[in-house]
Structure 1
Amino acid sequence: MKRKVVIGFLGSQLDSGLGAARWDKWRPTVSLAQHDDLQVDRLELLHDVRYLALARTVQADIAQLSPGTEVRLSEMNLANPWDFGEVYGALYDWLKTYPFELEQEDYWAHITTGTHVAQICLFLMVEARLIPGVLLQTAPPRRQGSQAAGSYELIDLDLSRYDAINTRLRSARQDAVSFLKSGIATRNPRFNALIEEIERVAVRSTAPILLTGPTGAGKSMLARRMYELKKSRHQVSGAFVDVNCATLRGDGAVSALFGHRKGAFTGAAMERAGLLKTAHQGVLFLDEIGELGCDEQAMLLKAVEERRFLPLGSDAEVQSDFQLIAGTNKDLRTEVACGRFREDLLARINLWSYVLPGLAQRREDIEPNIDHQLAIASQELGRQVRFTREARADYLGFAQSGEALWSGNFRDLSASATRLATLAENGRIGVELVQAEKARLRWLWDKHPARDAASDVSLHDLMGAAAEQLDAFDRLQLQAVIGICRQQASLSEAGRALFNVSRNQRAVINDADRLRKYLLKFGLTWEQIRT
Structure 2
Amino acid sequence: MRKTVVMGFIGTVLDYAGRGSQRWEKWRPTVGLCQQPDLLVHRLELLHDSRSRGLFERIRNDVATISPGTEVVSVEVNLQNPWDFEEVYGALHDYAHGYAVDTENEDYLVHITTGTHVAQICWFLLAESRYLPARLLQTSPPKKREGEDVAGSYTLIDLDLSRYDKIATRFAQERDESVSFLKSGIATRNARFNRMIEQIERVAVRSKAPMLFCGPTGAGKSFLARRVYEMRRSRHQLAGRFVEVNCATLRGDSAMSALFGHVKGAFTGAQTERAGLLRSADGGLLFLDEIGELGLDEQAMLLKAIEEKRFFPLGGDREVESDFQLIAGTVRDLRQWVAEGRFREDLYARINLWTYTLPGLAERPEDIEPNLEFELARYAREQGEQVRFNVEARRAYLKFATSADARWSGNFRELSASVTRLATLAEAGRISVAEVEEETTRLRQGWQDTSTSELDTLLGEAVDQLDLFDKLQLESVLRVCRHANSLSEAGRRLFGASRLEKASSNDADRLRKYLARFGLDWRQIQSAHT
2:165 corresponds to 1:164: yes
Between structure 1 and structure 2, the one with the greater Rg is 2
Distance 1:482 1:238, change over 3 A: same
CA positional deviation for 1:452:
3.4
1:432 to 419, 434, 442: 434
Superimposed CA distance per residue, residues 453-481 of structure 1 (whole angstroms, 9 cap, x where no aligned partner): 545779xxxxxxxxxxxxx9998447525
2:305 corresponds to 1:314: no
Q: What is the correspondence of 1:248-287 to structure 2 with a 5 Å cutoff?
A: 248-287=250-289
Unaligned runs of at least 5 residues, structure 1: 1-111, 113-122, 128-137, 145-156, 459-471, 490-522
**Segment drifting more, 227-236 vs 161-170:** 161-170
| Residue of structure 2 equivalent to 1:329 | 331
User: Counterpart of 1:231 in 2: which secondary structure?
Assistant: helix
Superimposed CA distance per residue, residues 289-311 of structure 1 (whole angstroms, 9 cap, x where no aligned partner): 00000110000000000000000
**One-letter code aligned to 1:411:** R
Q: Confirm or deny: 8 A CA contact 1:381 1:422 kept in the other structure.
A: no
**One-letter code aligned to 1:315:** D
**One-letter code aligned to 1:434:** V
1:480 to 449, 466, 471: 471
| Residue of structure 2 equivalent to 1:206 | 208
| Residue of structure 1 equivalent to 2:131 | none
Distance 1:476 1:285, change over 3 A: same
User: Counterpart of 2:452 in 1: which secondary structure?
Assistant: helix
User: Counterpart of 1:286 in 2: which secondary structure?
Assistant: strand
**One-letter code aligned to 1:202:** A
Distance in 2 (alpha carbons) for counterparts of 1:217 and 1:163: 40
Q: Confirm or deny: 8 A CA contact 1:262 1:268 kept in the other structure.
A: yes
Q: Confirm or deny: 8 A CA contact 1:308 1:318 kept in the other structure.
A: yes
Q: Confirm or deny: 8 A CA contact 1:455 1:479 kept in the other structure.
A: no
| Residue of structure 2 equivalent to 1:506 | none
CA positional deviation for 1:163:
5.7
Q: Hey, which bits of structure 1, 4+ residues long, moved more than 6 A?
A: 138-142, 472-475
| Residue of structure 1 equivalent to 2:190 | 188
Distance 1:329 1:428, change over 3 A: same
Q: Confirm or deny: 8 A CA contact 2:456 2:463 kept in the other structure.
A: no
Tell me the percent identity. Answer: 61
Distance 1:416 1:270, change over 3 A: same
| Residue of structure 2 equivalent to 1:40 | none
Superimposed CA distance per residue, residues 70-115 of structure 1 (whole angstroms, 9 cap, x where no aligned partner): xxxxxxxxxxxxxxxxxxxxxxxxxxxxxxxxxxxxxxxxxx9xxx
Q: RMSD of the alignment, in Å? A: 3.5
| Residue of structure 1 equivalent to 2:357 | 355
| Residue of structure 1 equivalent to 2:34 | none
**One-letter code aligned to 2:389:** F
CA positional deviation for 1:169:
2.5
CA positional deviation for 1:388:
1.1
Q: Confirm or deny: 8 A CA contact 2:455 2:463 kept in the other structure.
A: no
**One-letter code aligned to 1:274:** G
Distance in 2 (alpha carbons) for counterparts of 1:474 and 1:455: 9
Q: Confirm or deny: 8 A CA contact 2:265 2:271 kept in the other structure.
A: yes
Distance in 2 (alpha carbons) for counterparts of 1:474 and 1:437: 22
Q: Confirm or deny: 8 A CA contact 1:188 1:365 kept in the other structure.
A: yes
Superimposed CA distance per residue, residues 216-268 of structure 1 (whole angstroms, 9 cap, x where no aligned partner): 11100000000001001110000000000000000110100001111111101
Aligned residues: 340
**One-letter code aligned to 2:359:** P
| Residue of structure 2 equivalent to 1:392 | 394
| Residue of structure 2 equivalent to 1:233 | 235
Distance in 2 (alpha carbons) for counterparts of 1:474 and 1:434: 24
CA positional deviation for 1:378:
1.1
Distance in 2 (alpha carbons) for counterparts of 1:314 and 1:446: 51
| Residue of structure 2 equivalent to 1:452 | 453
Distance 1:361 1:486, change over 3 A: farther
| Residue of structure 2 equivalent to 1:409 | 411
TM-score norm. by structure 1 comes to 0.59
